Amino acid sequence: MTSPTDTANARSSALEKDLSQALAHHRAGRLAAAEELYRTLLSRYPHHPAIRHNFGVLALQTGRTAQGISHLKAALKADPDQTALWINTLAVLYKAGEQQEARTLLTHALRASVPVRTALVELVNMLVDTQQLVDAEAILTHFLTLYPESVAALSNLGELRRRQQDYVGAEHYLNQALGLRPDFLEARLNLAAVFTKQNRLTEAESTLQAILATAPDHVTALSHLGEVWLYQDRCGEAEAIVRKALRLMPTSRPALLNLAAILAQQDRFAKAEEILLRLKADEPHHPETLINLGAIWLKQDRYAEAEAALTEARTLQTDHPEVLTNLAEVLLKANRFAELHDEVLSFWESGHGRFNTRAKAAFLLADDLHKRHQYDEAFSWYSLGQAVLREKEPYDHAAWLQKVETEFAQFPRLQELLTTCSVATPQPVFIVGMPRSGTSLIEQILDCHPAITGAGELDDITRMIAAGLLQATDADPLAAARATYEKRLAKLAPAAHYVTDKMPHNFQHLGLISALWPKSPILYCVRDGRDNCLSLFQQQFRDAHPYAHTLTDLGHHYRAHEAIVARWQTVIPNPVLCVRYEDVVEDLEGQVRRLLTFLKLPFDAACLSFYQNPRKVLTASRDQVTQPLYKSSVGRWQAYATHLTPLLTALHEGHPHREPTSFSAKTATRPAHP
């Protein structure tokens, strides 16, 4: 006969085994399997603190905040003297952005019989008070003298330092934790987050790939890797891996938020909004959901909705810098920037925040001053913003020119490999030139014609080059790339005669474009170099335009782009038309007729009312192309003339009397190789 003691021991052994298995699933990122076991265990042991605590952590990790908090509180009620439960619960709540819940639990902790009460109080002070960083670190260091090998404490401190934008300190503590326990995945995940925040995306990617090598179904690592790929503009790969995470855990809020961000990056706003509104319906006041909704609505110029979402997000997560800068951008559009001016300035002066958010603060301050015609002060802030970007995005002009030379050298071979010249339906029209030269305006005008559809800035040519198409040794990969692109255009606009691809920097890839489509028209947009370069200097571009961070590099890049286009014109057979921005402003109808004649299309008066086009423009020029033409952008550089000496010098080096190049249309003849 089995004794009660034997039965109890058997139950305890079974519980320990099942809980250990659930934890193994949890730590390996197999969250669905872990959740199923936790639920089974809770049905048997409804008041077990460790089960409640771990299930609560899992619920928070997958975005079910209310459910997670409920389980964490139940765990503390079941075992209020367990110090580790208090500390871990408070750390988890902070990570989930639930600072008010953390403060409430602190009140309960002060009343509980907690052996290390002082350490607990001071740890929570660090969690919730980002303005006392030095004192908080000293206190937690004292805590670590009592428990010097507390891997969880080191990892949590690293994570908190990351949230307070001290990335060097965060990396130090996380590496300490990993030195004690190399297989501690939570610390590795936190380290990947540190790398991501510093734009060290290659290191973030390798860290996450190392996690997935040992735990291929780790939902958090999969979702985070998708975020990293999103920042690298690898949207296809990012979407695929985040969808894998969601197949494993369909309710994971971080993965759903990342999927929405990926879709928004591809201008698939309706799908992104659908996901976010579903999350909002499930939990109406979740700050990250509101932040993402606000960002999407801001991109679509839905300013009232963006303001409401971001304002609520600020009340829930007041220290989130992206909320502040996005809300400030909304108010700048409404001429109400003064409401947040001091806070944006304080954020800048604090030195906190991811580099692109800090840069955005500087550009917002500059744009506000520009609107008030305080040009000297505005220029100082534009310079500060570009300096922040330059630190993370250096530019090597010589290296860029070498890449262009490589493309020139490869062009004759590509022409010989692909000799067929059939005309695609719809036929691509490539709009190229320096950014801010009028490319968006020209596409908006042409999109009003019934025979033309504007596709925006397609990244296909850039992706072809990144995939090594320039090194092709036979015609097959070239033909395949051409077919894929043409299918995309046909899907975008099956009834159109022309589809425009307005990726400005395709001017350097005209050789590949010509090899694939030797009969396709090319529109080359030109603007006075002084205005063009100043406009670029006043924009916060991400990643793609590092030459814009200094006036000297801008001038050199502008002159080089002119020479590159002129050189391509001597060797490609495509018809090319140069369109000067100043000419369009001066004589809109005359230039529209010229454009349509070049494309062999009849005149359509709808093109003159381009600003009434309901099509969404998502580039930095969207404000300009949604209103009638105005002349104030011509000669705009003169307001900043006293600051532009480095630019003017670079623009005129070797060309002291030369104005921006103006090319005429040319016929489609196939010249000899260069």
The pLDDT of residue 5 is: 55
Q: What backbone phi and psi angles, to 5 degrees, belong to 334?
A: -95, 10
Does residue 98 carry a pLDDT above 50?
yes
List beta partners, residue 427: 498
Please give the Cα distance from 321 to 347 (Å, whole number).
8
In this predicted model, which residue has the larger pLDDT, 535 or 625?
535
Identify which of 360, 510, 355, 484 has the alpha carbon closest to the alpha carbon of residue 432.
510
- Structure confidence at residue 674 as a pLDDT band (50, 70, 90): very low
Please give the Cα distance from 296 to 292 (Å, whole number).
6
pLDDT in tens, 188-198: 999 999 998 88
> For domain 397-529+575-631, which architecture applies?
3-Layer(aba) Sandwich (3.40)
Does residue 134 carry a pLDDT above 50?
no
Under CATH, domain 265-392 is a member of which superfamily?
Answer: Tetratricopeptide repeat domain (1.25.40.10)
Which segment of 62-76, 92-106, 216-230 scores lowest on mean pLDDT? 92-106
Residue-range domain boundaries for the chain: 10-128, 212-262, 265-392, 397-529+575-631
The pLDDT of residue 120 is: 52
User: In this structure, are residues 322 and 357 in contact, taking their beta carbons and an 8 Å threshold?
Assistant: yes
pLDDT in tens, 343-402: 999 999 988 777 788 899 999 999 999 999 999 999 999 999 999 999 888 999 999 999
The pLDDT of residue 212 is: 95
The pLDDT of residue 623 is: 53
Who's near 192: CB < 8 A, 6+ residues apart? 204, 207, 208, 211, 221, 224, 228
Q: How many alpha carbons fall within 13 Å on the CB side of residue 410?
A: 22
Calculate what percentage of the chain has a pLDDT beyond 90.
55
Which segment of 135-144, 174-183, 511-520 scores lowest on mean pLDDT? 135-144
Is-same-fold flag (10-128; 265-392)? yes
In this predicted model, which residue has the larger pLDDT, 403 or 49?
403
Which segment of 120-129, 421-430, 582-591 scores lowest on mean pLDDT? 120-129
In this predicted model, which residue has the larger pLDDT, 43 or 90?
43
Which segment of 120-124, 324-328, 493-497 scores lowest on mean pLDDT? 120-124
List beta partners, residue 524: 432, 578
The pLDDT of residue 655 is: 54
Chain centroid, CA 132 distance in Å: 30
CATH class of 10-128: mainly alpha
Angle at 195 between CA 193 and CA 196, to 5 degrees: 60
Does residue 654 carry a pLDDT above 80?
no
In this predicted model, which residue has the larger pLDDT, 75 or 81?
75
Please give the Cα distance from 551 to 425 (Å, whole number).
42
- Structure confidence at residue 516 as a pLDDT band (50, 70, 90): very high
- Structure confidence at residue 147 as a pLDDT band (50, 70, 90): low
User: Which class for 594: exposed (0-12), middle (13-18), buried (19 or more C-beta within 10 A)?
Assistant: middle
Q: What's the whole-number mean pLDDT along residues 458-463?
A: 90
pLDDT in tens, 290-335: 999 999 999 888 999 999 999 998 888 666 788 899 999 999 999 9
Q: What is the largest CA-CA distance in the chain?
A: 107
Does residue 643 carry a pLDDT above 90?
yes
The pLDDT of residue 127 is: 47
User: In this structure, are residues 52 and 71 in contact, taking their beta carbons and an 8 Å threshold?
Assistant: yes
The pLDDT of residue 465 is: 93
Chain centroid, CA 50 distance in Å: 38
| Amino acid present at 346 | S
Q: What's the whole-number mean pLDDT along residues 251-256?
A: 92
The pLDDT of residue 661 is: 42
Does residue 446 carry a pLDDT above 80?
yes
Does residue 662 carry a pLDDT above 50?
no
Please give the Cα distance from 135 to 139 (Å, whole number).
6
Q: How many alpha carbons fall within 13 Å on the CB side of residue 68?
A: 25
- Structure confidence at residue 67 as a pLDDT band (50, 70, 90): confident
Which segment of 148-152, 243-247, 484-488, 631-635 scores lowest on mean pLDDT? 148-152
User: Which class for 468: exposed (0-12), middle (13-18), buried (19 or more C-beta within 10 A)?
Assistant: exposed
Considering the entire predicted model, what is its pTM?
Answer: 0.70
Does residue 151 carry a pLDDT above 70?
yes
Please give the Cα distance from 437 to 524 (Å, whole number).
9
Calculate what percentage of the chain has a pLDDT beyond 70.
81
- Structure confidence at residue 99 as a pLDDT band (50, 70, 90): low
Q: What's the whole-number mean pLDDT along residues 451-466?
A: 91
Q: Is 97 left (phi over 0), alpha (psi -120 to 50) or beta?
A: left
